[in-house]
Chain A
Amino acid sequence: MRNIVITPLAPIRISVEAEILSPDIFAPLSMEQICGLDVWQGNRKKKISDLFRVVGDEGPAKPEETALRLEGDFSRVKRIAEGMTAGTVDVTGSVGMHAGNNMLGGKLSILGNADDWLGREMRGGSIIVEGNAGNYAGAGYRGERCGMRGGEIEIRGNAGAYLGEHLCGGNIRVAGDAGDFPGAANQGGTIFIGGSCHLPGAEMTKGTIIVNGKAKVLPGYQKLEIVTIGGEKYQKYAGDLVENGKGELFIQAGSS
């Protein structure tokens, strides 16, 4: 395994666009080449070494043999692990917006929190967040008809609004609560919410949403039977009938 550790030289106040923080970009390069990569901070182009200390094993290596460790606070660093296909990225702190965008494979682990658009339009691989995630985790970006299409997102804390909007495939699991409109306009995939949420599955045409806590259900949903999943009893609904949808919604029985 080729290990590379990246640490901010000073607290980052102005946002950095760092789509290069990915095993795919680092793997084929020498340490010197990596330190020479460009990043944008605000409207200024900088070298990665102007903002971060980058140390690690000399390359090249394959992406699947490359492990990035991001130590410290990356909450103002955007697009970490964008489009990664293999390898691992471990973050000890929090990450900024658009982490794991368009991810295809590999594993992104975040010990802190993730900002908005975590794993948006991802197609494969896995993301684990120990803390909370912002809005639009696993969603499609503005105007897209398809959000996440494959892979896994696990959020051990809470998620914000529009979790998995336009989801077309893959799995999202939130241990805590989700905000408003999880699974809006879904066309596939599965969302599990351990806690409560508000108005799940608006305009869902296909896919599955399971809510372990409380949820207000939209009037476009038809109440069906009580079912048992993993020993727990759930009220099953079908919808969203506004869109002639074939989606399935399960809410913990007796909770709503």
Chain B
Amino acid sequence: MIIRGGIVYDPANGIFGEEMDLCIDGGRIVEDAKGEVIDARGLLVMPGGVDAHSHIAGKKMNTGRIMRPDDSRLGTEPRSGVCRPSTGYTVPNCYAMGYRYARMGYTTAFEAATPIIEARHTHEELEEIPILDKGALTLFGNNWEVMECVHDKDIAKLAAYVAWGLRAARGYGIKIVNPGGGEAWGFGSNVKGLYDPVPNFDVTPAEIIHALAEANEMLRLPHSIHLHFNNLGKPGNYTTALETLEALKDIKPSRMRQAVHVTHMQFSAYGGTSWRDFESKAPVIADYINRHNHATMDMGQLLFGAATTMTADAPLEYGNARLTHNKWSNHDIELEESSGVVPMVYSRKMLVNAVQWAIGLELALLTEDPWKVLMTTDSPNGSPFVNYPEVIALLMSKPKRDSEMATLHAELSKRTSLGGIERELDWSEIAIMTRAAPARILGLEDKGHLGFGADGDVSIYNLLPEEVDASKEHATVKKALATAKYTIKSGIVVCKDGKIIATPRGKTYWVDAAAAQADMDRLMVDLQEKFERYYSVQMSNYAVQDVYVTNPKVIKAGIGAEPLKEVA
């Protein structure tokens, strides 16, 4: 396949809007190819989109679907052509996940949070998501074995457990959600801060995070720890964010990447002492990120309208349920986690929601280096992923932001700095925040760029980047991004003019990390006891079998493994 004459944005390879041809053969970008010619003259061409943090599969998503038959009605599309039926808006069915991402030019999405014991369910759903390459991060932050290793300061055994857990879950990396808080929630409480001990374990959230970061680097995992802060969603929590980042400054990354990825920073950049004097502290957070190089983040942008909040941060969801009087699902996951789901509507009329909306945008616009901040909505927590074009249009257009702000609470301009930010992102920066950076941050060397050997994932939009002024013509930008002219996945045209025309099966990434045998042996003694005494399943039935991951892409890591090739 040859893609002719497109205006290509491939920031990882230093290409910022150059007219060039692209060739794909055998599912990869190559120097020269024959076959189908795609006319992309003058059109915006980027690598396929990569979403490093989205909730797309597993028990939380399914609980959301069960709780929200009302949501199911919002997105029904009948079977047509190669597409099976779609349902849902904030909690779509598996098929819709694949079709809707592909329609926007995305070809990769990572599920953000799976407890090991529920990983089989996650993979059953990932298997049913068409087109996309995907992976799932594994939850470790409230796990008994983890906390015991942390208490004993036994990082080698902790690394062995992480390696074993990733293999058992067929997981991609370490996710940490409100460390310690999920365990405390089992006793009806929460941890109040970084140095508040977890009941019965005599460890602090700070110790859990730091130890998991050390284990992460000991195992040379492709991704860093992926962290959902303590105190998330609470006024005044920006101090917890800064404290946590400071506490990780000494972690030495084992690869050319961040030491910590902070997810949905919007929910952790809050000032004020209550919802009454709630205000943005995004400028402080962005300033910290600008001055340090050990952390990256994603926006977790909130948009007005329907959302479904779902997180392993169960005490947070209890608060949401109390605040909104809405439906609430609460879940305790054996020795590993807790979780919750609450439907949500973010209202333009609510000052708090308006400030939250502004914070996400401030974070992205005030962070100077686009490689440090990813565009996400923490889908479906801030808004479902189908609304990414709205977020991008806001980032690219000051007039659009101004006209939105004019419809919001008069008090808003006193609570955020957004109104004074002139910056408008360009296509290179958007390509970084939605392609190149998520791939680099996750450690996916074949994704997010169009160099020779990269995966043949390309998105082509019906937009002439050299003629369209994204600042003024933001409606055109939003429309073009919502329906890709072409989405090409591994060299196959999967979407044409916004219509899905092919549904190839994607890969599932997981990380197979080796640990020292002596540490693994010591670990097994612990685990055997835990399975005998506490778990509802036997150890032999616990791990996800290969039959559940039929098209795996295994990344080798761990002690003694070959040093991983650096990403572009």
Contacts and interface: CB of A to CB of B under 8 A. Distances in A.
B344 to A, nearest CB: 12
Interface in B29-79: 67-73
A141 B69 CA distance: 9
Interface centre among A140, A142, A143 (most CB of B within 10 A): A143
A145 B69 CA distance: 11
Interface in A133-159: 140-145
Interface string B251-267: 00000000000000000
B273 to A, nearest CB: 26
Interface in A142-190: 142-145
Nearest to A243: B325
A145 B327 CA distance: 10
A140 B68 CA distance: 13
A184 to B, nearest CB: 15
Contacts of B326: 145
A246 to B, nearest CB: 14
A103 B403 CA distance: 34
Interface residues of B, number: 8
Nearest to A244: B325
Main secondary structure on B side of the interface with A: helix
Contacts of A144: 70
Contacts of B68: 143
Interface centre among B70, B71, B73, B326 (most CB of A within 10 A): B70
A34 to B, nearest CB: 23
A140 B70 CA distance: 9
Interface in B306-339: 326
Interface string A117-146: 000000000000000000000001111110
Contacts of B69: 141-143
A6 B73 CA distance: 29
Interface in B61-118: 67-73
Nearest to B326: A145
Interface in A182-229: none
A140 B69 CA distance: 11
A179 to B, nearest CB: 22
Interface in B171-194: none
Nearest to B345: A145
Nearest to B72: A143
Contacts of A142: 69-70
A249 to B, nearest CB: 20
Contacts of B70: 140-145
A144 B343 CA distance: 11
Nearest to A144: B70
Contacts of B71: 143
B50 to A, nearest CB: 33
Contacts of A140: 70
A146 to B, nearest CB: 10
A145 B326 CA distance: 9
Nearest to B71: A143
Contacts of A143: 67-72
B239 to A, nearest CB: 34
A147 to B, nearest CB: 12
A144 B70 CA distance: 5
A141 B72 CA distance: 11
Contacts of A145: 70, 326
A144 B345 CA distance: 13
A140 B72 CA distance: 14
B114 to A, nearest CB: 25
Contacts of B67: 143
B75 to A, nearest CB: 13
Nearest to B70: A143
A123 B397 CA distance: 38
A142 B68 CA distance: 8
A237 B436 CA distance: 63
A141 to B, nearest CB: 7
15 contacts: A140-B70, A141-B69, A141-B70, A141-B73, A142-B69, A142-B70, A143-B67, A143-B68, A143-B69, A143-B70, A143-B71, A143-B72, A144-B70, A145-B70, A145-B326
Interface of B: 67-73, 326
Given A141-B70, A143-B70, A145-B326, 4 more contacts: A140-B70, A143-B68, A143-B72, A145-B70
A-B pairs with the 7 shortest C-beta distances?
A: A143-B70, A143-B69, A142-B69, A144-B70, A143-B68, A142-B70, A141-B70
